[in-house]
Chain A
Amino acid sequence: MSADLNPNTAINLTKAVVLVVETTSHAADILSQILKGFGVAETHRITSIREASELLKHKAFDLILIDPDVEDGAGYTMVRNLRASMVEPNCFAPVILMSGHPRVTRVKQARDTGANFFVSKPIAPNVLLQRILWVARDKRPFVEAGVYIGPDRRFKFEGLPPDSDGRRSTDIKDPLGAANGPDMSQDDIDNLMKPQRVMI
């Protein structure tokens, strides 16, 4: 079991409403059974993009699990349209893409749909639960930039791109320059972080 999945931690998915969009009814059955085991009481199983899009207009979902290869890749477009619709709350619902054999041409497409996470099939209960907990705890903000709407695609900040001044107000535009003065000793550094008793 993964370190993220402490067997004693309680989870409550009894009130969660989940949409499953799958390529076949058997694949939908597999996911529905796993979700049932997790305690999800309301799962909607769909194998058609048209039906899924229609349902998303009328019913609020807390989680959307979709195989983007449904109807020859129409699942990617469905997620992108969902984000762009700005119809709340579904346009902000966590979306997990679950795809089987990876076609090289589809990798970038997956990244740009606005989904929260991409999971490779075959689906195992522990992997699915880990990803559900991950998207629930995901702290990334949503970004609306041109044609892209969805969670920030950057998982960590690795500095500005080369030869760029950055666009954020917090980006440091001036070079830091060379250090001046002597280096701090290890004791000086330790003292910066050492808890000290304060007398009031």
Chain B
Amino acid sequence: MSVVRRFRPENRLAKLLEMPGGVSIGSALNNASIALESIRESCMQALDQKLVVLANMASRPANAGRDEAMYLLANEIFNESGSFNLSELSAAAYSLCTLLDLEDRNGTRAATIRVHIDSMRALRHPDMAGDQAARTAVLDGLRNLTARHIETLLTDEPST
């Protein structure tokens, strides 16, 4: 059995937080939102560029390397769009990540991936920006599609 040592190191962060001065939590959150907005434009351009790259990747033959690269890119889109409250785009990217994380590369998977990427690009179209109902409809469609795909995998007979 290994020897267990328990100790309490100094927590410098706690001491700094308690120092006089600083800002209120309300101001800190407000300032953070303003600071985040200042980089929105450049982040949106980067997101659109990533969607183009993702579409190009999807047109190549499926293999583990391509899927891993697509997974990483979809994950970046999920993270970065979510921080700017593009919740539908973020959710669509999350759904694509789930799909790409599955090992099965047969059946309707390729088409489902293609639909995800087309939907994500559509969600970035200016016409969609002010149409909450349309964005919700796109997301609902993706959810149904992905659920059917995953359900098929789950109900497959285990291989012997």
Contacts and interface: CB of A to CB of B under 8 A. Distances in A.
B79 A27 contact: yes
Contact of B17 (A13, A36, A152): A13
A140 B147 CA distance: 40
Max chain B C-beta neighbours (<10 A), residue from A33, A125, A141: A33
Given A11-B17, A13-B17, 10 more contacts: A11-B23, A27-B79, A36-B32, A37-B36, A38-B32, A39-B22, A89-B10, A122-B90, A129-B25, A141-B7
B24 interface: yes
Interface residues of A, number: 58
B17 A69 contact: no
Given A13-B17, A37-B35, A89 B12 contact: yes
A16 B33 contact: no
B89 to A, nearest CB: 11
Given A29-B43, A121-B82, A122-B90, A37 B6 contact: no
5 contacts: A10-B21, A38-B32, A69-B75, A129-B28, A142-B8
Contact of B98 (A63, A88, A92, A101): A101
Nearest to B101: A103
Interface of B: 1-14, 16-26, 28-36, 38-39, 42-43, 46, 71-72, 74-76, 78-83, 90, 94, 97-98, 101
Nearest to A69: B75
Contacts of A12: 16-23
Interface stretch (A1-9, A51-59, A188-196): A1-9
A33 B80 contact: no
A38 B17 CA distance: 11
Contacts of B5: 143-145
Nearest to A5: B25
B23 A10 contact: yes
B78 A16 contact: no
Contact of A144 (B4, B38, B79): B4
A15 B80 CA distance: 28
A23 B76 CA distance: 8
Secondary structure of the A side of the interface? loop
Nearest to B3: A145
Contacts of A13: 16-17, 22, 28
- Which 6 residue pairs are nearest across A and B when measured between Cβ atoms? A122-B82, A37-B32, A12-B22, A7-B26, A37-B31, A92-B9
A34 interface: yes
A14 interface: yes
Max chain B C-beta neighbours (<10 A), residue from A89, A100, A135, A138: A100
B28 A39 contact: yes
A136 interface: yes
A171 to B, nearest CB: 13
A94 B43 CA distance: 28
Max chain B C-beta neighbours (<10 A), residue from A24, A35, A63, A167: A24
B39 A33 contact: yes
B13 A136 contact: yes
B41 to A, nearest CB: 12
